[in-house]
Amino acid sequence: MALATPRVFSGIQPSGELHIGNYLGAIQAWVEIQHRYESFFCVVDYHAITVPYAPPELRTRTHEAAVSLLAAGIDPSVATLFVQSAVPEHTELAWIFNTITPLGELERQTQFKDKAQRQESVAAGLLNYPVLQAADILLYRADSVPVGEDQVQHLELSREIARRWNARFRPDSPYFPEPKALLTPTRRIMGLDGSGKMSKSTGNSVGLLEPPDDIWAKLRPAVTDPKRVRRTDPGTPEVCNIYHLHKAFNSEATVELVAERCRTAGWGCIECKQTLFEGMERTLAPMRARAADIRSRPGHVEEVLGDGAATARRVARETMREVKAVMGLAAEAGLRPHRP
């Protein structure tokens, strides 16, 4: 059964400072989408505890993630912004989905293989992470999920879980929609060290609220076209990460100019990076100003998140009532017979 207004759900981990990869791959789209869809945006702290972490830091990071999202333009008067652990139905539904998800499908997930390799001991929660993600999305019966390209495989699993649950428990009238990815044009931002995707956990990122001096200190030595060794060597913009960042932060005319100056060695990499830095500042400086304003209002973030959790819970409870009823599980107030 389709909902009257299309719904989106998307989440972000509070595992470190939100970065420009998160912004270009996801948050920028959220800001635009919030006016067209009924939107649920979530700081997914239950996901962040699947790898080793420090509890006091997690609390600060969760708060900081909310500040960044508000500063980036999430408007709590049109979108529901909340913290995952404030809505216990997420883990309740995840457990249910765990019982219908084959182990082999989880073991095949690329992100699991990557993260598991970096750790001595791997928690079962890390393996089951995409099941919790399916629960996050399906709890709100969201039809669309604005995410970066790295999440496409997980989303395919969410669709599979929705299909499987519907087939098993509501074969005649599917309850869960099969959520589709809404990909941004930027899709995947690489880290400044050129080692792989920009990520909070690998320290190769530019923070959304980072002071300009710190950003420049990271940008200056950032990896460019590896074949461009001397200032006078002509470069190949297409192989340069900095060039791709220009496309996200500068106008088409500037991007063309950058490409031309690189190919002809008219500019050195430092001049090119300065132009990128100026473009980034046009996007990031207003965010820093909004963040300063948010921080100057005591209790504001807590109030937004509290209201968001209350709204999210109303929807989540309704889903769980239906799910538990058809599965023969006890309702909130005890075991009542199910009348379809």
Question: Measured from the CB atom, is 70 or 320 closer to ligand ADP?
Answer: 70
Sign of CA dihedral 166, 169, 172, 176: negative
154 binds ligand ADP (CB under 6 A): no
Is-catalytic flag, 180? Answer: no
Please report how close the Cβ of residue 74 comes to ligand ADP at its closest, in angstroms: 13
Residue by residue, what is the 3-state secondary structure of the chain? Answer: CCCCCCEEEEEECCCCCCEHHHHHHHHHHHHHHCCCCEEEEEECHHHHCCCCCCHHHHHHHHHHHHHHHHHHCCCCCCEEEEEHHHCCHHHHHHHHHHCCCCHHHHHCCHHHHHHHHCCCCCCHHHHHHHHHHHHHHHHCCCCEEEECHHHHHHHHHHHHHHHHHHHHHCCCCCCCCCCEEEECCCCCCECCCCCCECCHHHCCCCECCCCHHHHHHHHCCCCCCCCCCCCCCCCCHHHCHHHHHHHHHCCHHHHHHHHHHHHCCCCCHHHHHHHHHHHHHHHHHHHHHHHHHHHCCCCHHHHHHHHHHHHHHHHHHHHHHHHHHHHCCCECCECCCCCC
Single residue of 115, 164, 170, 188 touching ligand ADP by CB under 6 A: 188
115 binds ligand ADP (CB under 6 A): no
CA–CA dist 42, 314 (Å, integer): 15
Single residue of 28, 144, 158, 199 touching ligand ADP by CB under 6 A: 199
Single residue of 130, 148, 279, 308 touching ligand ADP by CB under 6 A: 148
CA–CA dist 124, 118 (Å, integer): 15
242 binds ligand ADP (CB under 6 A): no
22 binds ligand ADP (CB under 6 A): yes
Single residue of 200, 228, 246, 273 touching ligand ADP by CB under 6 A: 200
150 binds ligand ADP (CB under 6 A): yes
* Binding window for ligand ADP (CB under 6 A); candidates: 17-25, 210-218, 299-307, 332-340: 17-25
Is-catalytic flag, 218? Answer: no
Is-catalytic flag, 115? Answer: yes
Single residue of 7, 8, 26, 43 touching ligand ADP by CB under 6 A: 26
Single residue of 7, 21, 177, 215 touching ligand ADP by CB under 6 A: 21
Question: Measured from the CB atom, is 19 or 273 closer to ligand ADP?
Answer: 19
What part of residues 252-311 is at the interface with ligand ADP (CB under 6 A)?
Answer: none
Please report how close the Cβ of residue 196 comes to ligand ADP at its closest, in angstroms: 9
**Of the residues 113, 180, 200, 227, which is catalytic?**
200
Q: How many CA atoms lie within 13 A of 147 on its CB side?
A: 23
**Of the residues 113, 115, 218, 227, which is catalytic?**
115
178 binds ligand ADP (CB under 6 A): no
84 binds ligand ADP (CB under 6 A): no
Single residue of 132, 138, 189, 315 touching ligand ADP by CB under 6 A: 189
247 binds ligand ADP (CB under 6 A): no
Write out the catalytic residue numbers.
115, 197, 200
| Chain contacts with ligand ADP (rule: CB under 6 A) | 12-13, 15, 21-22, 24-26, 147-148, 150-151, 188-189, 197-201
